[in-house]
Chain A
């Protein structure tokens, strides 16, 4: 637990959970990501800036999800998966041997493509899951405050405040996804990773989540994978474009730049083809 010891506020000390996440910078250097012997993503070097929304775009299968999951050490949960290179969270390598993957994930939260609330838990317990599953002891009203804040932050409070004790899986798909965002933000991570969070949602719910992302970046560093060009253009500050040669080749980061620049005047022909829709 060397990592936890270096945490700004030690998690052990009873009720003093970190109440404010600090948006952090991520520096990725020469990252190669493998599934067994298969090199899925090759040689990525990029900086993800704090308090900015970084969008990752690129055709299907080019390794966006794989890359995203390597940023909070979720990738290594897949049998045989491995990573080479370094990922620095505010200068500290999350892949250094002394780093505990559990504490990395506590600082870098994740929202998945399909909403996955815990079916055995109520809306309330789902929102507080990060605290409850880790057996954080705290007073009921303190927990209530955190839950309300997270649900308000996810624009879900008004819809669920009368059914906090009902199962989380009883909500609509869009509500479930916002519940998952609330769950991820309730533990106040420093970075929030989102893998196509809107792909199962209707346009209105999508816009609601984009607004939410805009607000969340005040507090978090956000990385979002999306297939939706408009979404990347609307919601992000920085855009990274991944591409793949032929199938079987590894995915590579073609370019990373201000979103405006990527969509108006990209440096690479491939990027231009992709964002203008002249590509696979």
Chain B
């Protein structure tokens, strides 16, 4: 682009006289940086192999040396600005790759250790009368769906209405105080939520009580503030112009909220709820002390212990029988199922916000 039309572009011949930052034909080819990194890694790897091989040193050394390498190369043929640019690009990319290492290795570990038990039996049988090999997560999966489902059923209406109050109705000191408490609640350690539910039910049923619904209550404590926060965020991006347009048609406030504001924000709110479910479905600590572990299917959240995926995983790993392998395998497989569920929730959330949430993001 030529910003000032009065200053003409340089003539073709003049280009050679431009300073080094000007356009030149000398460019490092696109495969250049890759070759630098690969070459450095090969040479350094060879050198290290001769002495004492060390993977961490290899990675670290490769990054540092290739950043210098690409800088020097670009400096020689492209100029200083481009050289700096390339060094920063390579540095940032390496840091990104570094950040991905734990994630990828975690996924790899879970998949490789969990895959062996992903079979039909694993999904269709409980741990009833199972000692040693076999058994499955049916009871725990059902428990997780009941416990999380109840928590979601209770948290979503409460959370959305609280957010509507805070954003559409609340004002002044009360609103600020409530916002503060919601913020504090978002940071509550999950074990505290579990203790709260436990103590609450102990008042009525005596100590030592374990029920699925207690787990739901604990999860509600964790989930409500998340739903409030994300819903408030969505209400905030509904343009005021829409509210005014509705009022100007002689529509009352609650109808405006119910029929204009909430539908407009709906895709975002649903996305937020999905993410909140994904966030709590793997909570372990509060469920350990509220739902207990149980080896059979229990469909009644209001009576008796109810197993669930996180607690199942924990117990299989923590208290294996003899030999321990089948237990450990089940733990990894259950962990893999949990990760898969969370992943599906994220994908659905993304899909909803992509598919239905476009109007507000223009």
Residues of A within 8 A of B (CB): 72, 74, 77, 79, 102-107, 109-110, 112, 114, 116-120, 129-130, 132-135, 167, 169, 180, 183-184, 187
Which residues of B sit under 8 angstroms from A134, Cβ to Cβ?
249-251, 255
Which residues of A sit under 8 angstroms from B251, Cβ to Cβ?
102, 130, 133-134
**What are the nearest 10 A-B pairs in CB distance?**
A106-B250, A119-B359, A110-B248, A116-B241, A130-B249, A105-B250, A133-B251, A120-B263, A116-B245, A102-B252
The prevalent SS among residues of B at the interface is: helix
Residues of B within 8 A of A (CB): 171, 239, 241-242, 244-252, 255-256, 259-260, 263-264, 266, 359-360
Interchain Cβ contacts under 8 Å between A and B, 27 examples: A74-B244, A74-B248, A102-B247, A102-B252, A104-B250, A105-B247, A105-B248, A105-B249, A107-B250, A109-B249, A109-B250, A114-B241, A116-B239, A117-B245, A119-B242, A119-B359, A119-B360, A120-B264, A120-B266, A120-B359, A129-B249, A132-B259, A133-B256, A134-B249, A180-B245, A183-B249, A184-B248
Cα separation A133 to B242 with both chains bound (whole Å): 13
Which residues of B sit under 8 angstroms from A184, Cβ to Cβ?
248-249
For A104, the closest partner residue in chain B by CB is B250
- Cβ–Cβ contact A118 & B242, under 8 A: yes
Cα separation A167 to B247 with both chains bound (whole Å): 21
Which residues of B sit under 8 angstroms from A110, Cβ to Cβ?
244, 248
Report how many A-B pairs have Cβ atoms within 8 Å.
77
Given A112, A132, A187, which contacts B250 in the complex, CB threshold below 8 Å?
A187
Q: How far is the CB of B247 from chain A (nearest CB, A)?
A: 6
- Cβ–Cβ contact A74 & B247, under 8 A: yes
- Cβ–Cβ contact A133 & B264, under 8 A: no
Among A77, A135, A183, find the residue whose CB has the most chain B CB atoms closer than 10 A: A77
Cα separation A102 to B244 with both chains bound (whole Å): 12
- Cβ–Cβ contact A77 & B247, under 8 A: yes
- Cβ–Cβ contact A118 & B250, under 8 A: no
Which residues of A sit under 8 angstroms from B242, Cβ to Cβ?
116, 118-119
Q: How far is the CB of A10 from chain B (nearest CB, A)?
A: 14
Cα separation A114 to B241 with both chains bound (whole Å): 8
Q: How far is the CB of B260 from chain A (nearest CB, A)?
A: 6
Q: How far is the CB of B268 from chain A (nearest CB, A)?
A: 12
